[in-house]
Chain A
């Protein structure tokens, strides 16, 4: 297990389409986080899971966004009816047993809505 994997690396979609991203965390990490990053800004928190439970959601996570982690392993982030404002880098991170361990980030999925 070499780190956090995200798929796809890049996604171009037409406005109004649905998209789904996948994140595979480090296997022994029980916490998984989703962040969004727009150009020139730091990442903004979207949501996080401990095992399969979604424990916190940001107000940035509108009703068009849904995230799941059904078996406490990989996670998916779905965006319905995409808008041009959804264009961003979507980053996934994982950690183990609390914040003292720090985060390990994946390489991200870059979404472009045209």
Chain B
């Protein structure tokens, strides 16, 4: 596609429910990132996929968070048993190569009520 696509754009869920957030990176981009942006906060790194290498999961805040990238393309971020503190904008980005800039999607705004 022309850009990084994320769905849904908005998600309201009840505390304790599981949610899945989807990211379609730019075709041909080998690197894919997930970040979280809370109101008034910066970008918190969550997870990084690079080609077929093992993902860097060092930013996942708890074992309720997981992500996968199927076929080196689409990625899904799953949050189990959501909590109110999970409310944030979840941003996905992809880049073509190591030295190139990342292109961001519009984000998924998650609200846990």
* A, B bound: no
